[in-house]
Amino acid sequence: MSLSLPEEWFVRDERTNAVLAWALTALLALAAVAAVLTVRPVEAALAGTGAVLAAAPAVLARSWTRTMPWPVVLLAALPLLLDAVFPGFLGVVVSGVSVAALGMLLVVVLGMTTTVRMTPWFAVVFVVLVTLAFVGWWVLLSWLFASLVGTGFLETNEELMYVFTAALLGGVVGGGVFWLYFRRQLRRVPGSREVGTA
């Protein structure tokens, strides 16, 4: 059985959801501006991407009520909004979950704007991969930046491995949450929008 990830699993058309989602989107945009002003490029990129992705369905459909489910937007925004609340290891785990949520928003928006299609399980795998790759690139770029400009970076290999471990946990938790959500959706609408060849 093959089924492309249906847009309706993510895009809602309800007033309450839209209000909450837009509020979170505005917070993300504010967080992005604040991060730009305080020269935190990673936070700025994440918050900016989150705001753009969260706003995309409504803009594309030209209807302000067509938005992502607010809990997913919240998941993506959580570590950026509560930066100080989760320090250290837990913070990176939460960031991992958040990057996974951003990855899923990206998959949904790609499905709406391009010919990219994924099955639900492929989307889950992809989102976990994105989380791991994100932390890898983040480390690579901060390391380059640190050696060029002399800013601070992690001190030891152990610290780096804890960051990677936390990101892996976050990615797996995020992917797992989506997996459970997809299974529930599949049970609710068996065989809906059947596509594919098999």
Partner 1 sequence: MTPLLTPRRQSVLVRVLQVLLVGIAAVGIWLGNPGVAVNAGIGLLASFLPALLQRNWGFTLSPGIALWITAAVFLHALGTLPLPGLNLETLYGTTWWWDHMTHALSSSVVAGVAYAVARALDEYTNAINMPPLFMFAYLLVFVMAFGVVWELIEFYISIVADLLGGPTLLTQYSLDDTVLDLGYNTLGGLIVALFGGARLTGVSDELLARLEGRGT
Pairing of strands 12-13, 66-67: antiparallel
Say if residues 108 and 11 touch (Cβ distance below 8 Å). Answer: yes
Minimum Å distance from CB 181 to partner 1?
18
Using left for φ > 0, alpha for ψ between -120 and 50, and beta otherwise, residue 196 falls in left
Please report how close the Cβ of residue 149 comes to partner 1 at its closest, in angstroms: 16
- Give the residue, chosen from 135, 170, 181, 182, that forms a contact with partner 1 under the rule CB under 8 A: 135
Nearest to 49 by CA among 105, 7, 93: 105
To which H or E segment does residue 87 belong? none
Q: Is 42 in the site for partner 1 (CB under 8 A)?
A: no
Q: What is the DSSP letter of 196?
A: S
Residue 38 or residue 197: which is nearer to partner 1 going by CB?
197
Amino acid in position 117 = R
Among 34, 42, 154, 173, binds partner 1 (CB under 8 A): 154
**Least separation in angstroms between CB 22 and partner 1:** 29
Q: Is 112 in the site for partner 1 (CB under 8 A)?
A: no
**Residue from 34, 190, 28, 189 nearest 105 by CA:** 28
- By beta-carbon proximity to partner 1, the closer residue of 89 and 143 is 143
The SS3 assignment for 186 reads helix
Residue 139 within binding range of partner 1, rule CB under 8 A: yes
Q: Which stretch binds partner 1 (CB under 8 A): 9-17, 28-36, 40-48, 160-168?
A: 160-168
Question: Closest Cα to residue 108, out of 92, 125, 120?
Answer: 120
129 lines the binding site for partner 1 (CB under 8 A): yes
Q: Considering the rule CB under 8 A, would residue 124 count as an interface residue with partner 1?
A: no
Return the number of the residue (29 or 133) whose C-beta is nearest partner 1. 133
Q: Is 122 in the site for partner 1 (CB under 8 A)?
A: yes
The residue assigned the tokens 């995020």 is 174
By the rule CB under 8 A, 137 interacts with partner 1: yes
Whole-number Cα distances in Å, 100 to 23, 153, 193: 21, 24, 25
Binding site residues, partner 1, CB under 8 A: 2-4, 110, 114-119, 122, 126, 128-133, 135-137, 139-140, 143, 154-157, 159-161, 164-165, 167-168, 195-198
